[in-house]
Structure 1
């Protein structure tokens, strides 16, 4: 944004428009939503077998990811300009590692401590999504068995364990928040999402009791915590201050989710066709937007105005994301559901035959 005009970073950092560009806050909201959605089959006793569950997640997340990884590696090798002197060190770190077999192996495994700056930095959050998905049935045991206060104490405990790595450096991060300790901390947001699903009726009833002024105050509070919690990192100078920031973001996100579940006006807004469309292609947008931005800058920087490069990048991202959704993501998810259903049906038949035999 600074390359367009120095004013833009100020506008998007301090104005309400920050909500549209604060990527890290979107990740925390995504973790909470993931916990919410993943918990529903468990809460409704429709979770099926563990193998079916894992395979569904594999087809839903991993297959589109591995395709995007292949594209990112190809583009990085083909288009990288060995650094652009007039751009920052932060920008030039990306794609600087070239075709590194060990780093590619890391990315294929996905759940390891990955060098996320190598090909597509945004996948740091996907690492946690995959790790936590593997243990999510254990998480749901605690969510279902224990009351909300016990689970919130568990969240604080997990985040405290995560903070210990910030203080004592038990595990070095190869990428952006990619350590196991980071996953332990981020598990708390999946638990929070599952708790929202468990108590959604109670929360909706509480929301409906509020008058209009209180509802607007609640929305304002949500936007402030979601957009501006990072001010904690300016005020509190501790190695773990990002965890405090993320809890502030989570608080704002929780309010947003409650309003989405309870407010007819909010629901109607979310049901608008453009919003549904963006939601449909959101995973592909997530996978491709940064790769396309890097490609566009490496291709056109110094040849086209930076504003035009951003516009081309935006249009290309939408087109590629639509193609990615319809030709990769959606078919893969459908195949995953079919495979999962067959496995669950097979295991159910086996259980039935064993009972009859007994």
Structure 2
């Protein structure tokens, strides 16, 4: 389906580690709902999901421009083998250990718990513009629902990506803007108001809106491969560039993004875009600079401990909010939960999930096509769940 060589795939260890930091951004943000450990942390930490989506587009393109997708359904099966088992485990963990009245929203008709559960199990919730659907049950699973739609489109998007990346990036940007515009108008109609459509939630998780971030990651890989990947420079040069990119990213998340969002508050359409995707270009710069790990930042990110945290980051992400609810609602309310207590439990649980659920399920469920067994590298373990 996709013409590609069978060349070996370069393992990009720094990007594995970056997955952990993207997940940690979301963990910190959600902890503010329960504890004051990170009081003062900016709401722009929610842009960690943008980090995931850009990384996902980059790494998938990195892998599948080097080998063939011989079967569309085999590709989708392989991607689902990464997402669904841990998703199911997190749901079961939620039901078993979180107090029933804190498990999920409850409503009537379309918002009934059973309907919410069906949409969650099939990872279809991200296409519905309702808060009580998007954030039902294990609420963070909206992002893997969105990711699933990216997977469905990827085998077609990657065709000719080295030649037509700019067209696909432009079309995805236009689609994002058009989607927000249409939903803004629909939310103002009587039908939209009766349905309870709110533009914030209508755009936040929708794959059409978020597709720009994924296409940005794909396009970024093309630019990186052509201009950055083989650029010869000293360790000192790359250390300087990587450090500058990292410092700018941190500054942007804590200050720059908030300034951008505030400056667009009078323009609803633009504000919706900047509020949700305003940091994706900054993450793209960081990814492109540190991907090959040729400077001090890349060297640190290639550390075995950070790489391991990156490998278990999907389980960290999927389980962190469930564990927060367990500590906050299912234990003795007076129990003083400390950061050491929570993060130790989270790392232990995520490690168990990685070794006992995630990896065995991938081996069991992955397709058996010849191309999937040939040229397999640890790079594929970096794919964003």
Which band: TM-score by shorter chain?
0.7 to 0.9
Report what 1:124 is aligned to: 142
Q: Deviations over 1:174-203 (max 9, x none)?
A: 998466982112111111111122232313
Q: Deviations over 1:287-329 (max 9, x none)?
A: 1100010111002363222x43x54332221111111000110
Q: What pairs with 1:254-269 in structure 2 (closer than 5 Å)?
A: 254-262=284-292, 263-269=294-300
Q: What pairs with 1:182-197 in structure 2 (closer than 5 Å)?
A: 182-197=206-221
Compute the TM-score of the two structures, normalised by the length of structure 2. 0.72
Shift of 1:278: 0.7
Asked if residue 56 in structure 1 is aligned to residue 78 in structure 2, the reply is yes
Asked if residue 230 in structure 1 is aligned to residue 258 in structure 2, the reply is yes
Flag structure 2 segments of 5+ consecutive residues without an equivalent.
1-31, 374-385
Report what 2:369 is aligned to: 341
CA distance in 2, matches of 1:66, 1:286: 14
Flag structure 1 segments of 5+ consecutive residues without an equivalent.
14-20, 83-91, 346-358
CA distance in 2, matches of 1:144, 1:235: 35
Is this contact kept in 1: 2:204–2:276, CA < 8 A?
Answer: no
RMSD: 3.3
Q: Secondary structure of 1:105's partner?
A: helix
Which structure shows the higher helix fraction? 1
Compute the TM-score of the two structures, normalised by the length of structure 1. 0.77
Shift of 1:32: 0.7
Query: Which has more radius of gyration?
Result: 1
Where relative contact order (Cα < 8 A, 6+ residues apart) is larger, the structure is 2
Aligned residue pairs, count: 319
Q: Secondary structure of 1:141's partner?
A: coil
- Give the direction of change, closer, same or farther, for the CA distance of 1:273–1:70 in structure 2 (3 Å limit): same
Is this contact kept in 1: 2:312–2:354, CA < 8 A?
Answer: yes
Asked if residue 33 in structure 1 is aligned to residue 55 in structure 2, the reply is yes
Is this contact kept in 2: 1:218–1:255, CA < 8 A?
Answer: yes
- Give the direction of change, closer, same or farther, for the CA distance of 1:217–1:23 in structure 2 (3 Å limit): closer
Shift of 1:151: 3.2
Shift of 1:107: 1.0
Residue 154 of structure 1, aligned match among 171, 175, 189: 171
Is this contact kept in 2: 1:35–1:193, CA < 8 A?
Answer: yes
- Give the direction of change, closer, same or farther, for the CA distance of 1:215–1:272 in structure 2 (3 Å limit): closer
Q: Secondary structure of 2:133's partner?
A: coil
- Give the direction of change, closer, same or farther, for the CA distance of 1:144–1:180 in structure 2 (3 Å limit): farther
Residue 104 of structure 2, aligned match among 95, 109, 126: 95
